[in-house]
Amino acid sequence: MSATEIRDEIDIRLLGRFSVDVRGRRVRHLESRRVRELLAFLVINRDRMIGRDVIADTLWPTSRGGARKNLRQVLWQLHSTLDRASGTPLIVADSSSVGIDPGARLRVDVGQLEAAHARLGRAPGPELDAELATFVQGVVSRCTGELLEGCYEDWCLAERERYRAIHLNALDRLIAHAEAIGDLDAGIEYGRTLLRYDRASERTHRRLMMLHHHAGNRSGAVRQFRVCELALREELDVGPGPATLAVYELVRAGRADLADVTPADGDAPVVAAGALAELATLVEQASQLIHRMSALLGRLDDASGHSEDT
């Protein structure tokens, strides 16, 4: 088996339970928080080499002079563990920068989610072609949670929000696709999945009410309205909006003209494509600002320590 074929079989999951599999076997000894953070950071930025100072200041901004030492130690752990498991280097490094080998063909959940988002952005209308629908369905099935759960560093929180928005947008498109082709059960399942990540999404609650109604489950539609009421009150301290109340009244009356109430009535899709692009730009700008602030604080600490010594 060639080195490329071996690397093709490296499967990295960052959304939900962290895992790395090589040739179908789980890679052990990656339990360290710092090891996981470094690998995740490199995978998310896999399209470029990153300066060692940038990595150290981003991942361990409070370590002061120990950040570069942390990087060397964690990088050695990653090298020894992944190289032994895969038989070929995954991470490349020189004296000034570190990155993922550009020749490595990985299966990465965040990369697949980004690809799905890009393709959905080019797909007009609610109904998707069969190949794209299957691809997006497979991608969201691998998203079992938030990015790098348990990590609350600034860089991770920003990236987590970005991937969360992309994930919710993909689920929203799958609901619309299911509605368009009349697959009510699939639409309900995707709606429930979306609510696990955003329980106060009124748009999704309303669409579930309509899906239950069209499936002949009037009581299910009414229950969904009650769940919506509770979620909005607990999460946002508000009540359902006019569009949701209108759907509820039609359901209670047993009306069959719910098709006249479109899912988008009353609010916008979960995340607009333009908003995601703007969010990505803001994340990058925030990351750069964090890097500069960390470097400045480090220099101030060094200067303060030097003054005390003298």
As a three-state string, the secondary structure of 28-68 is CCCCCHHHHHHHHHHHHCCCCCEEHHHHHHHHCCCCHHHHH
Could you tell me which of 197, 190, 165 has the C-alpha nearest to residue 176?
190
Whether 39 shows a pLDDT value over 50: the answer reads yes
What is the CATH architecture assignment of 8-107? Orthogonal Bundle (1.10)
Q: What is the pLDDT of residue 7?
A: 44
Rounded to whole angstroms, the Cα distance separating 150 from 36 reads 11
Instruction: Find the distance separating the first CA and the last CA of the chain, reported in whole Å.
Output: 62
Residue of 5, 26, 8 whose CA lies nearest to 17: 26
* Domain regions of the chain by residue span: 8-107, 109-260
Full 3-state SS string of 120-144: HHCCCCCCCCHHHHHHHHHHHHCCC
Question: Do 8-107 and 109-260 fold alike per CATH?
Answer: no
Confidence of residue 262 (pLDDT cuts 50, 70, 90): low
Q: Is 247 exposed, middle or buried (0-12, 13-18, 19+ CB in 10 A)?
A: buried
Q: Helices 218-236 and 242-252: crossing angle, nearest 10°? A: 150
More reliable by pLDDT, 140 or 304: 140
- Token digits for 259? 């098709």
Higher pLDDT, 66 or 276: 66
Which string of b and e fits 25-62 if b means at least 16 CB within 10 Å?
eebeebeeeebbbbbbbbbbbbeebbebbbbbbbbbbe
Beta bridge pairs of residue 25: 22
Question: What's the mean pLDDT when you consider all of the chain?
Answer: 85
% of the chain beyond a pLDDT of 90: 67
Ordered DSSP codes for 147-195: BTTT---HHHHHHHHHHHHHHHHHHHHHHHHHHHHT-HHHHHHHHHHHH
pLDDT value at position 87? 82
Q: 285 pLDDT band (50/70/90 cuts)?
A: low
Confidence of residue 70 (pLDDT cuts 50, 70, 90): confident
Q: Which of 8, 6, 12, 4 is CA-nearest to residue 35?
A: 12
**Is the per-residue pLDDT at 254 higher than 90?**
no
Give pLDDT, residue 287: 55
CATH fold of 109-260: 1.25.40
Look up the pTM and report it.
0.81
Give the span between the Cα atoms of 310 and 297, in whole angstroms.
20
Distance separating alpha carbons of residues 190 and 175, to the nearest angstrom: 6
What gap in Å lies between CA 179 and CA 60, rounded to an integer?
46
Q: Taking the alpha carbons of 295, 297, 303, 309 in that order, is the dihedral positive or negative?
A: negative
CA diameter of the chain: 83
Q: Tens digits of per-residue pLDDT, 103-150?
A: 887 899 999 999 999 999 999 889 999 999 999 999 999 999 999 999
Positive or negative torsion for Cα 252, 256, 261, 262:
positive
Paired with 21 in beta bridges are 11, 26
Task: Specify whether the CB–CB gap between 188 and 212 falls below 8 A.
Answer: yes
Query: Confidence class of residue 288 from pLDDT cuts 50, 70 and 90?
Result: low
Locus of tokens 């901004």: 61
The pLDDT of residue 255? 75
Q: What average pLDDT score do residues 251-277 get?
A: 58
